[in-house]
Chain A
Amino acid sequence: MAERTKTRRMTSFQKVLQRLAKDKMAVLCGIILLAFLLVAIFSSSLTPNDPNEVHPELRLAEPSFQYPLGNDQLGRCILSRLIAGTSTTLGNALAVLTGILVVGVPLGMYAGFKGGIVDNIIMRLVDVLCTFPSSLVALAVVGILGPGLTNIMLVLVTLWWAPLARMVRGEVLQIKEKEFVTAARCSGLSDTKIVFRHVLLNIVPPVVVYATLRVGAIIMHIAGFSFIGLGTQAPMSDWGVMLSDAREYLRFAPRMMLWPGLCIMIVAFSLNVFGEGLGEALKPGSKNLSRKEVQE
Chain B
Amino acid sequence: MNTLRYICKRLLLVIPLLIVISVLAFLLSNLSSGDVASVAIRNEGGIVNDVTLAAKREELGLDKPLAVQYLNWLSKAARLDFGNSFTTKKPVIYEIGRRFPATLELALMATLIAVALSVPFALISVRYKDKLPDFIIRVLTTVGATMPNFWLGLLLLYFFAIQLGVVPVISGSKFSNIFLPAFVMSLEHMALYTRLLRGSIIQVMDSGYIKAARTKGLTYWAVMLKHALRNAVLPCMTLLTTNLSGLICGSFAIETIFSWNGIGKFAVESVKSKDLPVVEGYIMAVALTYILINLIMDIVYSYVNPRIRLEGGKS
Interface positions of A (Cβ within 8 A of B): 127-128, 131-133, 135-137, 139-145, 147, 216, 220, 223-224, 227-230, 243, 246-247, 250-251, 254, 257, 260-261, 264-265, 268-269, 271-273
Contacts and interface: CB of A to CB of B under 8 A. Distances in A.
B249 A136 contact: yes
A272 B141 CA distance: 12
Given A140-B283, A261-B151, A269 B249 contact: no
B300 interface: no
A275 to B, nearest CB: 11
Interface stretch (B20-28, B59-67, B119-127, B304-312): B20-28
A229 B268 CA distance: 9
Contacts of B8: none
Given A140-B283, A224-B253, 4 more contacts: A223-B148, A247-B257, A254-B158, A268-B147
Contacts of A273: 142
Contacts of B32: 144
Interface stretch (B203-211, B228-236, B271-279): B271-279
Contacts of B31: 144-145
B14 interface: yes
A294 B145 CA distance: 40
A251 B20 CA distance: 42
Given A136-B283, A136-B287, A140-B283, A128 B13 contact: yes
A250 B256 CA distance: 14
B271 A139 contact: yes
A244 to B, nearest CB: 9
Nearest to B20: A132
B158 A257 contact: yes
Contacts of B245: 133
A133 B282 CA distance: 14
A228 B268 contact: yes
A131 B14 contact: yes
Contact of A133 (B246, B272, B279): B246
A220 B152 CA distance: 13
28 contacts: A131-B16, A133-B245, A133-B246, A135-B249, A135-B252, A136-B250, A137-B21, A139-B252, A139-B268, A139-B271, A140-B24, A140-B283, A143-B276, A143-B279, A144-B24, A216-B146, A224-B150, A228-B150, A228-B268, A230-B268, A243-B148, A257-B154, A257-B155, A260-B151, A261-B155, A268-B146, A269-B142, A269-B146
B185 interface: no
A238 to B, nearest CB: 12
Range class of the B interface residue count: 35 or more
Contacts of A223: 148, 150
Interface in B201-257: 245-246, 249-250, 252-253, 256-257
Contacts of A243: 148, 150-151, 154
Contacts, number: 119
Which 6 A-B residue pairings sit nearest by Cβ, starting from the closest?
A: A261-B151, A268-B146, A133-B249, A143-B279, A269-B146, A135-B250
Interface in B49-94: none
B297 interface: no
A147 B290 contact: no
Contacts of B157: 250
Contacts of B279: 139-140, 143
Q: Give the interface SS of chain B, mostly helix, strand, loop or mixed.
A: helix
Q: Give the interface SS of chain A, mostly helix, strand, loop or mixed.
A: helix
A230 B162 contact: no
B292 interface: no
Contacts of B25: 140
B139 to A, nearest CB: 9
Nearest to B188: A220
Contacts of B158: 250, 254, 257
Nearest to B268: A228
B59 to A, nearest CB: 22
Contacts of A224: 148, 150, 253
Contacts of B110: none
A243 B250 CA distance: 18
Given A144-B31, A273-B142, A250 B154 contact: yes
A249 to B, nearest CB: 11
Nearest to B25: A140
Contact of A128 (B16, B27, B271, B283): B16
Contacts of B148: 220, 223-224, 243, 261, 264-265, 268
B267 interface: yes
A265 B250 contact: no
Nearest to A250: B158
A171 to B, nearest CB: 20
A137 B150 contact: no
A220 B147 CA distance: 9
A133 B150 contact: no
B143 interface: yes
B151 A139 contact: no
B27 A144 contact: yes
B162 A133 contact: no
B47 interface: no
B16 A142 contact: no
Contacts of B145: 272
Contacts of B253: 224, 227-228
B272 to A, nearest CB: 7
A230 B280 CA distance: 17
A223 B150 CA distance: 9
